[in-house]
Amino acid sequence: MENKIKSKPIALLPILVFLVLYLGMGLIFEYALKIEMGFYNIPIVVVFMVALLVACLQNRKLKFDSKLEVMAKGVGNKDIMTMILIFLFAGVFVGVTGRDSAEAVAYFLLSVTPAWAAVAVLFIASCFVSTAMGTSVGTITLIVPIAVAVSNVSGFSMPLCIGSVMGGAMFGDNLSFISDTTIAACNSQGCEMKDKFRANVKIALPAAIVTLGIIIALSFTSGSAQIEIPEYNLLLLIPYVLVLVGGIVGVNVFLVLIIGIVSGVIITLSTGTVDAMTLLKGMGSGASGMFETIMVTVLVSAMCGLIREYGGFEALLKFIRKVFRGRVGGRLGVGLLVGAMDIATANNTVAIVMAGPIAKDISEEYGITPKESASLLDTFSCIFQGVIPYGAQMLIAVSTAIQLGASVSAFEIIPKLFYPFILFAVSIIYMTIEAYRKKKSA
C-alpha cells in the first residue's frame, strides 16, 4: 500500500530559492546596472543547479542514493523524453527554414492589401509566422524591422506597429505545434497536441479576431502610404504550410517535423536560397539553440521529483484548495500559477516546465482534462510573457527598433498590446462558461 505524502510547505524552498536568485539578479542587471538584456545574461541552468542542490539537502530521512533514484524517475518519464526529442526536431526545422521564409509571408501580404491595412497585415503575418515557426522571439526579430519601415512611411504610430507584431507573435507561440511552450504544456499534462490545439483555438482565435477589429478601427484614423516591397519567394512558405496542415489534421508530430525539414531542405537548396554548408550550419545552430531549454527541463524534472517526494506539491494543493474553490477557481489557479512563474522567470517555457507537474496534480484534484490544463498553461504563460517589460519579446522588439533609428520604449508599447489583454479577458469568460456548462451537464 502506497503511503500518502504529508504536506510540507518547506519542501517548496528550492522553487523560492530559484525565484529569488533569478528575479533578484535579473532586476539588478536590467535596471540597476543597466545591462542590455539583463535577464538573459543570467546562467539559468546554474541557478537551477543551485535550487536542485537545496532540494537535495532537504528531507534528511531519505539517503542520497534514494534521492538520485527519485530524480532519475522524474527525468526518465516518457513525456520528458518525448519533449526533449521534439525540442531538437523543432530546432532543426527552424534552422532549415531560416528568415527568408518568414519575411516572404509579410511581404506577400503587404503586396496584396491596401496601404491603410498595413498594421492589420503586420498582425496577421506575425500570427502566421509564429504559428509556423513556433517562436515568438524569432517572429519579432524578423517582423519588427518591417513594422519600423511601415511606421516610417505611414501615419501609423511606432508603438501600434510594434505592439501588433508582438501580439501576433504571442498568438502563434500559444498555438504552434512546434512551439517549445506547446511541447512543454502537452507533455507535462499528457495530452495530444491536436487536442490541446482544438481546446486552445476556441480561446485564441476569438481574441485574435477582436484584436484585428480594434487594429482595423484604429487604422481608419491614420494616414498611410504604400511601402516598397523587396523580392520574395513564395515557395519558401511550403514547409510552414505542410507543418501547419499536418499538425491540425493530427499527423504524428515527429512525422510532421520530418516532412517540414525534408521539404525545407529540398526547397532552400533547389531555389539557391542557401548552399549546403550554410544549411548544415543552420540545422546545427537550430538544434543547439534548444540545448539550454533541454537542460532546464531535465533539472526541473529532477527538482520537482524531490519536491513531490518531500510533500511540496501536497502543500501547494492544500493552499489552492483553500483559496480557489469550484470549477472556475481550479482553472484560475492553474492559470495564475504559471503566470506567477512567468513573472518571476521572464520565460514562458521555463514557467510551464516548472508549473507543469504541479498543474497536473491540481487538474486531477479539480477534474480538469489534460487538454484543458495544457491549454491553460500555454495561454496564461503567453499572456504574462506578452506584456512584462523585461521579457525577451519586449526587450528584443525595443532594441531592434532602436537599432533601426526608431525612438520607442516598452511603456509606450504596452498600451498597444491589445492581443494579450483581450486573450486574458476571453480566457476568463471561456473558463466561466465552460465550468457552468460542465456543472449543468453533471
**pLDDT per residue as tens digits for the range 259-270:** 888 988 998 888
Report if residue 206 sits inside a domain: yes
DSSP state of 33: S
Report if residue 2 sits inside a domain: no
Q: Alpha-carbon distance 408 to 16, whole Å?
A: 34
* pLDDT at site 374: 93
Residues 75-97, mean pLDDT to the nearest whole number: 76
Report if residue 156 sits inside a domain: yes
Rounded to 5, what percent of the chain is helix, strand, coil?
80, 0, 20
Report if residue 65 sits inside a domain: no
Confidence of residue 403 (pLDDT cuts 50, 70, 90): confident
Q: Between 215 and 307, where is the model more confident?
A: 215
Lowest mean pLDDT among 159-168, 361-370, 375-384: 361-370
- End-to-end distance of the chain based on CA atoms, in angstroms? 32
* pLDDT at site 428: 92
Please report, rounded to a whole number, the percentage of residues in the chain having pLDDT higher than 90. 17
Q: Alpha-carbon distance 365 to 370, whole Å?
A: 12
Element (H or E) spanning 343, and its range?
Answer: helix 326-345
* pLDDT at site 344: 65
DSSP state of 347: -
* Beta-carbon count within 10 A of 164 CB: 35
* pLDDT at site 378: 93
Q: Alpha-carbon distance 359 to 100, whole Å?
A: 38
Q: Is the pLDDT of residue 135 over 90?
A: no
* pLDDT at site 43: 84
Residues 102-120, mean pLDDT to the nearest whole number: 80
Alpha-carbon dihedral angle through residues 194, 195, 196, 197, given to the nearest 10 degrees: 50
Question: Grid coordinates in use for 197?
Answer: 490545439
For Cα atoms 203, 206, 211, give the angle at the middle one, nearest 5 degrees. Answer: 120
Do residues 105 and 129 touch, judged by C-beta distance below 8 A?
yes
Q: Is the pLDDT of residue 225 over 60?
A: no
Report if residue 168 sits inside a domain: yes
Q: Alpha-carbon distance 87 to 89, whole Å?
A: 6
Q: Is the pLDDT of residue 55 over 80?
A: yes
Q: Alpha-carbon distance 141 to 203, whole Å?
A: 26
The whole-model pTM stands at 0.73
* pLDDT at site 133: 74
Confidence of residue 34 (pLDDT cuts 50, 70, 90): confident
Look up residue 76 and give its amino acid: G
Report if residue 4 sits inside a domain: no
What are the Cα distances from residue 122, in Å, to 110, 174, 358?
Answer: 8, 18, 37
**pLDDT per residue as tens digits for the range 86-96:** 778 877 887 88
Q: Alpha-carbon distance 232 to 243, whole Å?
A: 21
Domain interval for residue 89: 9-59+70-441
Report if residue 352 sits inside a domain: yes
Look up residue 309 and give its amino acid: E
Lowest mean pLDDT among 52-56, 226-230, 362-366, 427-431: 226-230
* pLDDT at site 37: 63
Lowest mean pLDDT among 64-78, 190-204, 388-402: 388-402
Confidence of residue 1 (pLDDT cuts 50, 70, 90): very low
**pLDDT per residue as tens digits for the range 141-152:** 778 888 888 888
Confidence of residue 362 (pLDDT cuts 50, 70, 90): confident
For Cα atoms 326, 327, 329, give the angle at the middle one, nearest 5 degrees. Answer: 65
Q: How many structural domains does the chain have? A: 1
Q: Is the pLDDT of residue 224 over 60?
A: no
Q: Is the pLDDT of residue 304 over 60?
A: yes
Q: Between 29 and 375, where is the model more confident?
A: 375
DSSP state of 29: I
Report if residue 24 sits inside a domain: yes
* pLDDT at site 54: 92
Task: Return mean pLDDT, the chain.
Answer: 82
Confidence of residue 79 (pLDDT cuts 50, 70, 90): low
Residues 74-96, mean pLDDT to the nearest whole number: 76
Q: Between 362 and 81, where is the model more confident?
A: 362
Q: Alpha-carbon distance 132 to 425, whole Å?
A: 25
Q: Is the pLDDT of residue 233 over 80?
A: no
